[in-house]
Structure 1
């Protein structure tokens, strides 16, 4: 029996989550995290005519969050390619047998500007919620440092999310927006 198709519409933005099977770790060292990012970069080139854009991401030990904007094709082919190639790499490297990922992937479609901002903040605060770091820019496997100008932008496109803020100091305003949830622990 085949898995039902995920509903999708052209131009949709989608918060994709992919979790390790049985919540097991899918990244065991820095090389694994880096390889997954390399696969994202390769998939962006492979599907360049489909014009996928990565809005933001956070790779955690046992799951990934990727906010992707689509144009003419559903995100399934993109994330499917990345996850399938990563699973082959992981299985070979660690002599692992069986499914690496729990399911195909979980999509949450973005329906408003507010939801886009909240999804971005949620993704960037994942390492804080997991008590891995004190400040989100300390986490190496997230796009947050690029959003606040601490790292050179690579793989991602910040223009849509940052367009919600004033032209002057938009990176600082985004940082304040994200980190206001840390100060108000209830919204974590």
Structure 2
């Protein structure tokens, strides 16, 4: 079956995941992390993307970023992938593929989801059992977003800046969101939309995206739902 085209709207952020092939480890030593981190920064500058959150995990990476050109994310991921595979294969005396095919991504409504998706990304090392708290993990944007630590990769999104009038107020509000685990329903929704390449937003936002890209932004209701009384009533088919 042919692959659906990606959702890309310049100026609208996306959550991107790239995994190692068969979930194999792609980062071993500190030098590996630094190389990948530097290439992400170089690619973001070269292809006009702003990064708002990230985490580099041993076998995958997450980016929350806004492209400002139609092909910005695609070129960024291609650039990162090409340079890191060359580096990795030379360093570890190997050949062949490193990545699990195409990267996965979801376009999302920043007003509703920029902050929770960033927190989801930065909490990944905790969910994976690598650390006890996000602050304990060196290779994420947590320190920049939650404490104001300098990180050249990070450009705050307008949705983040609306958390408060001052940097300190914003950081305090952002950090408060880590006080309890993310809602399981939200976790599932973030994972499903990213893995299945659907848009993450309410019906009005999805409709706006559909009008701009001329394709469905969310899956069709299942057969059982379409036959339900609630569905017929909502669609005027009762």
TM range (shorter): 0.7 to 0.9
Partner of 1:174: 174
2: CA distance, partners of 1:178 / 1:110: 21
Deviation at residue 68 of structure 1 after TM alignment: 1.0
> By how many angstroms is 1:119 displaced?
1.0
Higher mean C-alpha deviation, range 144-153 or range 94-103: 144-153
1:65 aligns with 2:62: yes
In 2, distance between residues paired with 1:161 and 1:178? 17
In the superposition, the TM-score normalised over structure 1's length comes to 0.88
Whole-angstrom distance in 1 between the partners of 2:36 and 2:186? 29
| Residue 46 of structure 1, CA deviation | 2.4
Q: Which residue among 87, 106, 114 is the counterpart of 1:108? A: 106
Tell me which moved more, 85-94 or 4-13. 4-13
**What are the residue-to-residue correspondences of 1:5-24 with 2, within 5 Å?**
5-24=5-24
Instruction: Give 5+ residue unaligned stretches, structure 1.
Output: none
Say yes or no: does 1:153 pair with 2:156. no
Instruction: Report the CA distance between 1:138 and its aligned residue.
Output: 1.1
Q: Distance in 2 between matches of 1:69 and 1:159?
A: 9
Structure 2: segments with no counterpart, 5+ residues:
188-238
Higher mean Cα deviation, 22-31 or 66-75?
66-75
* Displacement after TM superposition at 1:65 (Å): 0.1
Task: Give the length in aligned residue pairs.
Answer: 184
Could you say which structure has the larger radius of gyration? 2
Distance in 1 separating the partners of 2:6 and 2:160: 29
Superposed CA RMSD: 2.3
Cα separation, 2, equivalents of 1:35 and 1:172: 31
